[in-house]
Structure 1
């Protein structure tokens, strides 16, 4: 349902409290008191059959007895009465309910299920049950039992915990921090994080969204909403349970490495959310991002009148992984001409303890003009020699008149004297101030991390390389064969076949049933001058080294025969219960300067398949150098995943060791992500070690766990278990046009930026004006990225391409609303190709797509003068009518279920 009827939760015209009570310390009384004290302007009805009035307000026995129709009903009655109360709310015409009551149980036959059955079929939105309630200060609504009402502000807080929500309201009141809304989700029977992210992303009263998360149920819905919200405004999240132990022992190294919190961290990163670790950081991050939208880079310049505090700031910056900016030589010369000779002549720029307002102004102007830094931290230590307030005023004057080279460059402040006038001046100039240098540096790192998150959402990845070759049919046949035999693990021969199908180099393997067979299998390898390795083969033994089941560097047939016999005897002794199939024979891979890596797939119960990468070897869990990512992946995301590990540093060249082929490593990760999409039966996959050097990569050992595909793990219009919808290849098609021409239609990909840029060069100014409703000629990276970077879960863009030249002919896009009911379309065809039916065919495919994802209505706006588009809409069955607010526009709508 998403944002459907949430206006009745946050902007209700009327409210009723069922369970209102005059009894002290009761929830019903607390809710009534809060509603009255918050100043809600609409009618408030109290429902309790035991009383005629409560606190001077009239009370009625039933909702039906109220003299008005309540939009929002707050329920505080005992658990066994809740389903009936909600049914009465539906009958009374309510659109939403906040169920504060706890103890409704779980599962079939529970009161919770009865509540769902009473509300959902009738479209009644439910917040809770078992929640603190809802607060919307801008409309005077406090439908909660919190101790006090929050101040008005522009932060939206969504918390799974009522106690956390109440505590943060108190925290905000004590620090004069206000909220646009505060919501406690409780058991989240209906309204959840995804719904509220969609709502607050569009809410004009909300500047930033704060989330307190304990767990996510519908990961697909959450990821889609979070990615959309993060594009619109900062979303800051704190999640509890970071160190909770896993619910089961993992069977593979990758499974062990992919702990629950690490998966959540990967999901937040992919969604563009800024994660912090504590509640105070939640507000600190929101404060910084509220004043400063972004930073162009990560290089910080520090301006101070105290050398010691400047050094402390540098220490903290380095601790948090920040970058101290260099000073341009021209800047140094400029500062030499305006500062005393005792200034530091380096960053931090120490302008000495007697620095007056003029010195602050000149130094700040120089740093804002310096292209070697991306942000400036200005600090002031109070002294008897100069006024801190005058210094703050100087900063604000510079910012008001800053030259173009410094425009938009973030400035942060630390005024240790905390003079109210100085702080007020800086606040009015949009400079966030902090109590300490450590707080300011932490705030700056939030700014940098938020910029990185936004870049991750907007960057254009490269095309998949030519050597990305897979044989998914062969791989699926391997997995199907193992499942048909009821096996959970692929044997080494099957693993090699699977890797070969995806072009992942792996050490050859031969199966030998006994010692003589092992010697015979090793003979050709030994004859070529190679040594061999032997490994025990048993479906009951996962970690071979645990049973002394591995022998390396065997150089003769006799040594192979002896080692095989010893392995088999030793394993039978240690694991008499195990089914032993023999040993596998492998050539020893001698790559002395290779790095040992681990790469694989893990399976998370919430987020589905996860790609894992890190430092490999037998002590992989102890080293714990790993990073996780949600598929699908492209090469850019794969390289970013690699960069988040410590082992990435030694992939570079050092001493006499050449750099490893990092692209080959990244390509393995992309192929593993593709394997997870193609073969959902692959549950866990472990390549350990994956050797990487300048000549490429090779898998020395690999294990693969499989299980029958249970069907979609998440709700949504696609069948993959991914929570981020992969590229919808099923919408690729060849289409015949007029005059014998053909075109290839496919969904837009992130790497299409250059193609779009060339396309716009072939579109006339007039056609661009008709499409975008204004003259457009400058197509920035950000503009085109918004056209090519798609969340396929809620939007689609189809591009038409000339099969011969590869040139773009036109494109159509459809953006679904959060409720999956309506979609807004836009279309543009190259100006020199009108009359071939390109637009008509793109519209027909777009309408077909809308039907497959369940949209009820397609809508758009067309300039009244665009008669060609209006004629096509009429032929396609759109209803056309003048826009009520703009006489130059026509509104066009199509009932998807009933096309012409």
Structure 2
């Protein structure tokens, strides 16, 4: 992933069209016509040996003849010519190219490479970025660039649209032009041989001309790069996604319940949610969602009030809200009394608030004001049904006045109808008030706001104190997995699978192995009481499906008899299965209120390992109540995963049954997350059923599928907490401090750290007086993407079990890994402790290990101690910015400087 030369691709100063022609319907003719008709201000240089000019513009016979190096080349020539053309462009000094020719991978060079491979090698040798092949090009209306074969030009706007489908591009463009919707960028990725979603998101995420980004996706590669880029861009502006292929055809191969349940579309939803984006289902919905997100205020809650002059449309909105999982606000008594004082006698006295058909602007405004003053209401949907008594425009103007007087309120409008309300809708649009044509569209817009807020909270969340504190026996789990792989088995036995769970602190039922019916009888006698008997076979995952489970067996005789019968059944239903014996375990009495759940792991072909949770039991696929999430999980993410299922409501207790121990459940999910991070050989995992009640959790059955491990970088979509970077440092006063990467749960201690800085240190660190950082900003500092950012904290453990953050150093690395921008601060009373130096040295070592080119930063000119401190470590002053800021730089190719100890400034 890289943004290198993307400015030349998307904001070029000059363009060449290679394969330009006068043939009306040829790509080289269409793209020339589009460039000229759009009035692109820079040079347009057609390249063709067949014509002296194209579209009235002087043509050149080849790339070498061009009068200057073009920023962007649009290539419309046959596949066999393209590698040579890219080499010539590189020799000329071009920096970006869009290949419009399709199917380069179907044609081969004389040495056996595909033309696509040859083109990519030529581009890499010269640092040229490639869009396509098979791309219809791009449109950037803000610079009057139509470098495409699109049938019409795009209007200027603040929305970027990026698509893998050329057909959808033309459809969206036609739809948007008719609706008057404009774009900052309109990009067709084509086959994405070089520039993909991750690169474009990195570019557009920091583009000041883009307010929101819309994606049409069919598939992705480089999952971790995509997730990193998406999470970074989603912090800056709304990202909305249409994903093709929602059917079951893309489901995972199922050798376990989890594999059957965790279909690829469900996994994609989980990835979108984790990245802080919003998924929508069609073109009209995506633009409606952009309108809502761009114009509405941030949502703080989910309680909606519906204000209407027509009971019918109000009820429709309420029904749509209920269908979408929304919540109508309960009107408190004081609000009802306030409304009763001025509304007509026949108003609805409830929510929806029907203020009767003859309501004028004054009645609407007074009612809306009362609703916005209520702390039990988070948003108001104002609706209007046209009639012969009131004026829709006059009512709209009254609502707009309230909207402007309440800048923090969330108000949405729906003026139902067409011609009679057209003027009112335009008034709303001009005033920046979200407005919709139908109740369903309005409610859908509101639900978009809710879902987007929830997804953003996953980016900004701060976990509570961990509900689990366990030390995993990772070595034991590895030994069990390695033994199975050594035997050539892909499935662990039930006893082995439970052994792996036990190594990670997950409660299990004691399970003993019997190799024959007689031994099963003896074990049953030793255990005493009722037992469960299960077949033991590496080839049978779902034992109950083949008659391989018998429960509530009382006594040795019953066990031996059941074992013989089980062997006969299994041999009949699954004759080729290898039978290694039986497992025998105590029957666990199910207490009232105890639920059977499933916790599992599957490996998605795109996003890698995913964690599944839902209602379990033998009918788990039929029930279909499940949710998935990407690891790693923390406490908040585990809780959010559980809340997305129907069974979560039963976990709260009902009809006198006590609530389940959800802390134990969340802890189990976190342990499973850590297990698949630590043991990459685990491809699938099932804990089904996982009993969960007031007393905690218990794994009754388990299955684990294993395979030789792939490198971690290829496996996880999100880089987990890098525990290997932890170390202990002893300060000059003798106190040991843990140096470790920052975690989201460090936010409270980070607030304390800032509060203990002197005003001077705050000014030096934040370039101004900052009394307190808001949660959103502090979350950005503590919940980081370890693939792109790093922050090491110095943490002191107190004798009472509490911890203090004493200092922090952080870097943010550009997508090309060329430069990392640093900042460092240590608590003001710890100057001279050596902590600041060790933190910064640790960061230098880390950046060097990642192959980063340099570390850069900015220091106030009067921060003399800091300047001396970093110069001692090898930083150089490179320039003065804005008169009072010094830009400094450390070349990571140079060895670490060791000179006399400097003043401790960090």
Considering the TM-score relative to the shorter chain, is it more than 0.5?
yes
What is the alpha-carbon distance in structure 1 between the residues aligned to residue 311 and residue 615 of structure 2?
41
What is the alpha-carbon distance in structure 2 between the residues aligned to residue 446 and residue 153 of structure 1?
22
Instruction: Name the SS of the counterpart of 1:232 in structure 2.
Output: coil
Of 210, 217, 240, the residue aligned with 1:236 is 240
Q: Which moved more, 1:425-434 or 1:801-810?
A: 801-810
What is the alpha-carbon distance in structure 2 between the residues aligned to residue 280 and residue 741 of structure 1?
61
Residue 541 of structure 1 and its aligned partner are, at CA, apart by: 2.2
Residue 852 of structure 1 and its aligned partner are, at CA, apart by: 1.5
Of 872, 877, 887, the residue aligned with 1:891 is 887
Residue 841 of structure 1 and its aligned partner are, at CA, apart by: 1.3
1:627-649 CA-partner distances (Å, limit 9, x unpaired): 10000001211111111111212
What is the alpha-carbon distance in structure 2 between the residues aligned to residue 177 and residue 627 of structure 1?
36
Instruction: Name the SS of the counterpart of 1:691 in structure 2.
Output: strand
In structure 2, the residue matched to 1:838 is 835
1:104-155 CA-partner distances (Å, limit 9, x unpaired): 1169711110011010122100000011111111011111100011100011
Say whether residues 1:537 and 2:536 are aligned partners.
Answer: yes
1:766-821 CA-partner distances (Å, limit 9, x unpaired): 21011101110022222221211111110011111224463221111101112221
Residue 286 of structure 1 and its aligned partner are, at CA, apart by: 0.9
In structure 2, the residue matched to 1:515 is 517
Instruction: Name the SS of the counterpart of 2:765 in structure 1.
Output: helix
Q: Which moved more, 1:759-768 or 1:94-103?
A: 759-768
In structure 1, the residue matched to 2:26 is 26
What is the alpha-carbon distance in structure 1 between the residues aligned to residue 22 and residue 615 of structure 2?
64
In structure 2, the residue matched to 1:877 is 874
Residue 465 of structure 1 and its aligned partner are, at CA, apart by: 3.3
Residue 576 of structure 1 and its aligned partner are, at CA, apart by: 3.5
In structure 1, the residue matched to 2:355 is 351
Say whether residues 1:550 and 2:554 are aligned partners.
Answer: no
1:333-374 CA-partner distances (Å, limit 9, x unpaired): 222233222222222222211111111111111111111111
In structure 2, the residue matched to 1:737 is 731
Contact 2:755 2:772 in 1 (8 A): no
What is the alpha-carbon distance in structure 2 between the residues aligned to residue 487 and residue 361 of structure 1?
72
Contact 2:216 2:243 in 1 (8 A): yes
Alignment TM-score, normalising by the size of structure 1: 0.96
Unmatched tracts of structure 2, length 5 or more: 898-906
Of 290, 315, 318, the residue aligned with 1:311 is 315
Alignment TM-score, normalising by the size of structure 2: 0.96
Contact 1:156 1:179 in 2 (8 A): yes
Of 434, 439, 456, the residue aligned with 1:454 is 456
Say whether residues 1:722 and 2:726 are aligned partners.
Answer: no
Of 846, 850, 866, the residue aligned with 2:847 is 850
In structure 1, the residue matched to 2:574 is 575
What is the alpha-carbon distance in structure 2 between the residues aligned to residue 152 and residue 101 of structure 1?
27
What is the alpha-carbon distance in structure 2 between the residues aligned to residue 90 and residue 839 of structure 1?
46
Contact 2:307 2:381 in 1 (8 A): yes
CA, structure 1 residues 263+500, in 2 after alignment: closer, same or farther (shift >3 Å)? same
Matches within 5 A, 1:307-456: 307-402=311-406, 407-418=408-419, 419-456=421-458
Of 199, 202, 205, the residue aligned with 2:206 is 202
Residue 415 of structure 1 and its aligned partner are, at CA, apart by: 4.8
What is the alpha-carbon distance in structure 1 between the residues aligned to residue 16 and residue 166 of structure 2?
21
In structure 2, the residue matched to 1:818 is 815
Say whether residues 1:791 and 2:785 are aligned partners.
Answer: yes
Contact 2:513 2:584 in 1 (8 A): yes
Contact 2:468 2:667 in 1 (8 A): no
1:367-391 CA-partner distances (Å, limit 9, x unpaired): 1111111111111122221211111
What is the alpha-carbon distance in structure 1 between the residues aligned to residue 154 and residue 750 of structure 2?
47
What is the alpha-carbon distance in structure 2 between the residues aligned to residue 372 and residue 341 of structure 1?
24
Contact 1:413 1:431 in 2 (8 A): no
Of 839, 863, 866, the residue aligned with 1:866 is 863
CA, structure 1 residues 838+567, in 2 after alignment: closer, same or farther (shift >3 Å)? same
Residue 466 of structure 1 and its aligned partner are, at CA, apart by: 4.7
CA, structure 1 residues 575+533, in 2 after alignment: closer, same or farther (shift >3 Å)? same
Q: Which moved more, 1:410-419 or 1:256-265?
A: 410-419
In structure 2, the residue matched to 1:289 is 293
What is the alpha-carbon distance in structure 1 between the residues aligned to residue 100 and residue 449 of structure 2?
37
Residue 868 of structure 1 and its aligned partner are, at CA, apart by: 0.9
Q: Count residues with an aligned counterpart.
A: 887
Instruction: Name the SS of the counterpart of 1:835 in structure 2.
Output: coil
What is the alpha-carbon distance in structure 2 between the residues aligned to residue 248 and residue 696 of structure 1?
31
1:250-307 CA-partner distances (Å, limit 9, x unpaired): 1111111111111111111111110011121111111111111421111111111112
What is the alpha-carbon distance in structure 2 between the residues aligned to residue 835 and residue 726 of structure 1?
33
Instruction: Name the SS of the counterpart of 2:104 in structure 1.
Output: coil
Contact 2:531 2:585 in 1 (8 A): yes
In structure 2, the residue matched to 1:53 is 53
Residue 248 of structure 1 and its aligned partner are, at CA, apart by: 6.3
What is the alpha-carbon distance in structure 2 between the residues aligned to residue 440 and residue 269 of structure 1?
22
CA, structure 1 residues 790+249, in 2 after alignment: closer, same or farther (shift >3 Å)? closer
Residue 506 of structure 1 and its aligned partner are, at CA, apart by: 1.4
In structure 2, the residue matched to 1:149 is 153
In structure 1, the residue matched to 2:249 is 245
Say whether residues 1:669 and 2:665 are aligned partners.
Answer: no
1:303-352 CA-partner distances (Å, limit 9, x unpaired): 11112111111111111111111223222222223322222222222221
What is the alpha-carbon distance in structure 1 between the residues aligned to residue 575 and residue 390 of structure 2?
84
What is the alpha-carbon distance in structure 1 between the residues aligned to residue 121 and residue 351 of structure 2?
65
Contact 1:126 1:191 in 2 (8 A): yes
What is the alpha-carbon distance in structure 1 between the residues aligned to residue 302 and residue 415 of structure 2?
19
In structure 2, the residue matched to 1:105 is 105
1:733-768 CA-partner distances (Å, limit 9, x unpaired): 112333444422111111111111111221111210
In structure 2, the residue matched to 1:41 is 41
Say whether residues 1:479 and 2:481 are aligned partners.
Answer: yes
Contact 1:744 1:802 in 2 (8 A): yes
Instruction: Name the SS of the counterpart of 2:235 in structure 1.
Output: helix
Instruction: Name the SS of the counterpart of 1:340 in structure 2.
Output: coil
In structure 1, the residue matched to 2:904 is none
Residue 822 of structure 1 and its aligned partner are, at CA, apart by: 0.9
Contact 2:258 2:600 in 1 (8 A): yes
What is the alpha-carbon distance in structure 2 between the residues aligned to residue 723 and residue 173 of structure 1?
37
Residue 83 of structure 1 and its aligned partner are, at CA, apart by: 1.1
1:29-53 CA-partner distances (Å, limit 9, x unpaired): 1111111111110000001111111
What is the alpha-carbon distance in structure 2 between the residues aligned to residue 244 and residue 541 of structure 1?
24
Of 477, 502, 507, the residue aligned with 1:500 is 502
Q: Which moved more, 1:429-438 or 1:777-786?
A: 777-786
Instruction: Name the SS of the counterpart of 1:534 in structure 2.
Output: strand
What is the alpha-carbon distance in structure 1 between the residues aligned to residue 699 and residue 736 of structure 2?
44
What is the alpha-carbon distance in structure 1 between the residues aligned to residue 549 and residue 318 of structure 2?
50
What is the alpha-carbon distance in structure 2 between the residues aligned to residue 379 and residue 465 of structure 1?
46
What is the alpha-carbon distance in structure 2 between the residues aligned to residue 861 and residue 713 of structure 1?
32
Instruction: Name the SS of the counterpart of 1:330 in structure 2.
Output: helix
In structure 1, the residue matched to 2:76 is 76
1:168-201 CA-partner distances (Å, limit 9, x unpaired): 1111100000000011111101100001111111
Residue 444 of structure 1 and its aligned partner are, at CA, apart by: 0.8
Instruction: Name the SS of the counterpart of 2:105 in structure 1.
Output: coil
Q: Which moved more, 1:115-124 or 1:805-814?
A: 805-814
In structure 1, the residue matched to 2:903 is none
Of 264, 271, 274, the residue aligned with 1:270 is 274
